[in-house]
Amino acid sequence: MYYLKYRPQTIKELDSKSVRDQLAAVLQADPMPHAFLFSGPKGTGKTSTARIIAKVLNGEDNAQAITRGYSPDVIEIDAASHRKIDDIRGLIAELKFAPIVSPYKIYIIDEVHMLTKEAFNALLKSLEEPPPSTIFILATTEIEKLPKTIVSRCIQIIFSKAKTADLISMLDRIDSAEKLKLSKEAKEFIAQKADGSFRDAAKTLEMAVIQGDTSLGGMKQYLGISTSEQDLLTLIDKKDLKKSLEWIEAAAESGNDFASLIESLMARLHQQLLKKNNIAVELETEYNFTIKEISRLISLLQKAYGQLKYSPIEALPLEVAIVEYVEGGVSI
């Protein structure tokens, strides 16, 4: 898997500039923090970064073992399956033992928000008074579920959704190593589809390689976007309802994935909205929508997106959204 194969191994290789900058500041601290908290959406590199910190703190001699996952002093715990107080008590019982071969014993607890209230209470004391050779790295996608007492004991590193430039930086690394010769447009398309997730971007690229076509057209086809959503926006912009509905029906007959289609439409409209507000973005096509029209159309598409899984006819929510927009239907 590309995401695992090309997982960053050093701070310099981290594709997120924001995370690199935050870590650079924290790792210069004296004394070294004994507890880190990584928070942010899935696929943004929290676990990879935790392992990198483990390698930085435990030195080059131990880096290979940490990379391969068999260092006796770096213990990874999935709180989704080890969430009870007995699991944490077992961890705490080990704290009295010094690291075996490294300067630090490092505990990486993923999805830490899954711990029970009792487990959090047990963990809190260890976070307050850890042995000097112990460091905790907690990772979560739902920081709002963590007790404030836990959050306050940690140095927090925020992992925001990856920016387009960050995603393309990762794709460039994979492209170069695999000699894929991806086009700029293909990379931009993958970055757009990834919704800020390094993992999803790598997965999309890998699936395109497996399908045997890494061209922009090939990627769109296997994702079910076999016709151009840009053409549909042109028809909507002209308020040509008949041709818009014909376009959607043709897309349905071609086997388009309507979730991907609506996501792509909203992404394009988002870019249009930024441009209308004088924010510098590159556009393939600039439409005549007003800011108010863009906002209304995005709202209608969001509503249609939420209705997809309940609709007996996949194309229907999008068709209704376009009818409401063109005919000036019920406002939402």
User: What is the DSSP secondary-structure string of 134-168?
Assistant: EEEEEEES-GGGS-HHHHHTSEEEE-PPPPHHHHH
Q: List, for residues 184-227, the tens digit of each pLDDT value.
A: 989 988 988 887 889 989 998 998 898 888 998 888 776 655 44
Cβ neighbourhood burial of 12 (10 Å; 0-12, 13-18, 19+) = exposed
pLDDT at 332: 38
CATH 3.40.50.300 at 17-158, yes or no: yes
Cα-based angle 85, 126, 70 (whole degrees, multiple of 5): 80
Spell out the alpha helix ranges (H) of the chain.
2-5, 17-26, 46-58, 60-68, 85-94, 117-128, 148-152, 164-178, 184-194, 198-211, 216-222, 229-237, 241-253, 258-276, 291-307, 316-327
Q: List, for residues 184-196, the tens digit of each pLDDT value.
A: 989 988 988 887 8
Q: List, for residues 39-62, the tens digit of each pLDDT value.
A: 999 989 999 999 999 999 999 889
Signed CA dihedral, 228, 232, 234, 237: sign only: negative
Domain residues of the chain, as ranges?
17-158, 164-222, 229-327
Q: pLDDT band for position 229 (50/70/90)?
A: low
Residues 6+ apart with CB under 8 A from 141: 39, 40, 41, 42, 111, 113
Q: List, for residues 133-181, the tens digit of each pLDDT value.
A: 999 999 999 999 999 999 999 999 999 989 889 999 999 999 999 999 9
pLDDT at 228: 58
Cβ proximity of 314 and 258 under 8 Å: yes
Residues 6+ apart with CB under 8 A from 13: 173
Architecture of the 229-327 domain: Up-down Bundle (1.20)
Place of tokens 């989704």: 80
**CATH code, 164-222:** 1.10.8
